[in-house]
Amino acid sequence: MNLSQKKSYESNELIERLPKHLKQFIQPQDYEQYTPINQAVWRYVMRKNISYLSKVAHNSYVEGLKKTGIGIDSIPSMYGMNRILKEIGWAAVAVDGFIPPNAFMEFQAYKVLVIASDMRQLENIEYTPAPDIVHEAAGHAPIIANPDYAEYLRRLGAIGAKAILSKHDMDLYEAVRKLSILKEAEGTPPEEIEAAEAAVDKLQKEEVVLSEMAQIRNLQWWTVEYGLIGDLKNPKIYGAGLLSSIGESKWCMSEKVSKLPYSVHAVEQEFDITQPQPQLFVTPDFSYLMEVLEEFANRLSLRKGGARGLQKLIESGMVGTIELNTGLQISGQFTQSILNEEGEVIFFKTEGPTALAYREKELIGHGIEAHPHGFSSPLGKLKNINLAIEDMGPFDLKAYNFYDNKWLSFEFESGIKVEGLNVTGIRNIQGKLMLIELIDCTVTYGEQILFTPKDGTFQMAVGSQIISAYAGAADHDSFPNLYEASKVQTIKSEKSEATQRLENLYAKVRSFRESENFVEDDLESVFKLIQTDFSDQWLLILELLEIAQSESLKTKLNSALDDIISTHVHLKTLIKEGVAMLSDELLVS
């Protein structure tokens, strides 16, 4: 992030406490980027949502709109939202579309709502695969005003941020990000979109074992994005994907969509982001979401550790952390493990920058600068005495020379042998050794040489078990570039002269409505320009119809809308519902 970006976005206490590796994704919300067409799209969607969702959404939704400062007539500013979100202990930041899965989850864990500040095109008014401000601000934000749901979102983020990814997860993330950007970019050639869709489809159809992140992603999808709540026969909507999609919010209420009781089995239910969902899950209440989340979390390597957790980290190829039973935490890219006959880890290795920590705080002198080329260590109990080093009392420590400046020579039950001069050790708060530093050290396993004196000082982790394994670093400050931002950036198209003229017409109609300073001839002249150059602009005609006063002009406008329907049948529902909204007494300006 450059200095200009740092100065451009509004910050607060919640945003300031974010680690550096998350702040790199924060973008300034350039409110001037929103065109009059964007504002008209926002207004249509929000008016439609308030009209319809007030009947089918969870009762937290409408109340939440007020609490979070989200209005109907204008796209919300991040600054205004944050002033109000602060009262419920949350904040919001703008980002550029989809961000890496773990980063997204970690923002949630810090109670910061990630908002893609771009606005969907008019052509995608019903649904867009790209995250946009309608989906994020009007979908997610209102529901977090409910305390139970907000706590679920935070816990899901805290657990999800540590879920281990696979290479397939990252490939799918990049493919979906590219597709969403191309679909929302004005003038993208159809063949480019088709190729991007094919890439996503291919990845989605690959038969792979679901990673922990993929399972968390499924939970997020079936709750936060597409969740229903209440009674199976008459549920209410709370998922942001439904709340922000005019089409799907109606589709999901039909009998064509199966309503299933929500349970931990939802982690296995995949989804297609490009299609309406054929089934949805219904939770009885928000507190039940947390029960299911805890049930699922108990399955994760975060809480189980062991050889399986370490292997998942190795396969991920990303920075992860293991925690030993002494409390020592090792963060880096794990590349090797050696197991004994019982399948227990007896040796592990990282490559590249590695950091050591205790209780999520980096040990002094053991950051990535101290371990730039990796870290390795044996684990287990000592041979013959069947005792782990961390369990040794003063007598045992003395017997085996576990003191500073003493020559050590010992063998683990696994057969790994260590010889070297004990320089110093680090203990945990219980006084147990958790790290030993040796020089002139040799580590062997049968014929295999694991470490030699020429490799430098040997830092040996003390521990017999891996009790936790998870994605990311133990201390967030250890890896300032923990998540790599995608190289696929949002496409900003140059506006054509025709687009600029169209935006001017939208702006003029908006000005008429807001100021009420116009005469009927002003509206007639705008309508003539629409008929001449933009006869298919149904939303602009609707905006004009809203403020038209004479029956003569209203008749012309309605006739123009009928003409559009006759040639663009797919717009019929949008136009008819837009006309119906104009007389809806429930609308609040």
* Domain boundaries along the sequence of the chain: 3-218, 301-478, 497-581
pLDDT at residue 55 in the model: 87
pLDDT at residue 129 in the model: 65
How far apart, in whole angstroms, are the C-alpha atoms of residue 379 and residue 162? Answer: 23
How far apart, in whole angstroms, are the C-alpha atoms of residue 437 and residue 377? Answer: 11
Pairing of the two strands 458-461 and 112-116: unpaired
DSSP 8-73: HS---HHHHTS-HHHHTT-B---GGG--HHHHHHHHHHHHHHHHHHHHHB-THHHHHHHHTT--SS
Say whether pLDDT at 428 is over 80. yes
pLDDT at residue 532 in the model: 94
How far apart, in whole angstroms, are the C-alpha atoms of residue 333 and residue 316? Answer: 9
How far apart, in whole angstroms, are the C-alpha atoms of residue 485 and residue 505? Answer: 38
Q: How many residues does the chain have?
A: 589
Say whether pLDDT at 88 is over 70. yes
Convert the pLDDT of each residue in 342-383 to its tens digit.
Answer: 999 999 999 999 999 999 999 999 999 999 999 999 999 999
Say whether pLDDT at 3 is over 70. no
How far apart, in whole angstroms, are the C-alpha atoms of residue 552 and residue 277? Answer: 44
By percentage, how much of the chain surpasses pLDDT 90? Answer: 63
Pairing of the two strands 387-388 and 406-411: unpaired
Mean pLDDT of all residues in the chain?
90
How far apart, in whole angstroms, are the C-alpha atoms of residue 125 and residue 38? Answer: 10
| 3-state class percentages of the chain: helix first, strand second, coil last, to nearest 5 | 45, 20, 35
pLDDT at residue 321 in the model: 98
- Torsion from C-alpha of 461, 464, 468, 469, nearest 10 degrees: 60
**Residues 262, 281 contacting (CB under 8 angstroms):** yes
**Residues 470, 321 contacting (CB under 8 angstroms):** yes
pLDDT at residue 9 in the model: 67
Where are the alpha helices (H) located in 222-305, listed in sequence order? Answer: 240-243, 246-251, 286-297, 301-304
How far apart, in whole angstroms, are the C-alpha atoms of residue 561 and residue 482? Answer: 52
Nearest Cα neighbor of 344 from 465, 434, 450, 460 is: 465
In the predicted model, what is the mean pLDDT of residues 194-215? Answer: 92
DSSP 166-226: -HHHHHHHHHHHHHHHHHHSTT--HHHHHHHHHHHHHHHHS--PPPHHHHHHHHHIIIIIT
Crossing angle of helices 551-567 and 520-533, rounded to 10°:
20
Q: What token pair was written down for 239?
A: 């998922």
pLDDT at residue 4 in the model: 37
How far apart, in whole angstroms, are the C-alpha atoms of residue 519 and residue 188? Answer: 40
Which of 104-113, 241-250, 437-446, 474-483 is the least confident region?
A: 241-250
pLDDT at residue 8 in the model: 60
In the predicted model, what is the mean pLDDT of residues 279-298? Answer: 97
Convert the pLDDT of each residue in 541-566 to its tens digit.
Answer: 999 999 999 999 999 999 999 999 99
Can you tell me which residue has the tokens 């579309």? 97
Q: How confident is the model at residue 288 (pLDDT cuts 50, 70, 90)?
A: very high
How far apart, in whole angstroms, are the C-alpha atoms of residue 236 and residue 283? Answer: 10
* Residue 237 host element (H or E): strand 234-237
Which of 45-54, 172-181, 558-567 is the least confident region?
A: 45-54
* Residue 542 host element (H or E): helix 538-547
Crossing angle of helices 212-220 and 286-297, rounded to 10°:
170
Say whether pLDDT at 586 is over 70. no
Say whether pLDDT at 6 is over 60. no
Beta bridge partners of 157: none
- Structure-model confidence comparison of residues 427 and 97, the more confident one: 427
**Residues 76, 55 contacting (CB under 8 angstroms):** no
**Residues 322, 310 contacting (CB under 8 angstroms):** yes
**What value does the CA radius of gyration of the chain take, rounded to a whole number of Å?**
29
Say whether pLDDT at 21 is over 70. yes
Collapse the DSSP code of 452 into the 3-class scheme (helix H, G, I; strand E, B; otherwise coil) and give the result: coil
The 10 Å Cβ neighbour count of residue 57 is: 24
What sign does the dihedral 432-438-444-449 (CA atoms) show? positive
Say whether pLDDT at 2 is over 50. no
Q: Is the CATH code 1.10.10.10 the one for domain 3-218? A: no
Q: What token pair was written down for 456?
A: 């430098």
pLDDT at residue 554 in the model: 94
Q: What is the pTM for the complete model shown? A: 0.86
pLDDT at residue 585 in the model: 43
Which of 280-284, 380-384, 507-511 is the least confident region?
A: 380-384
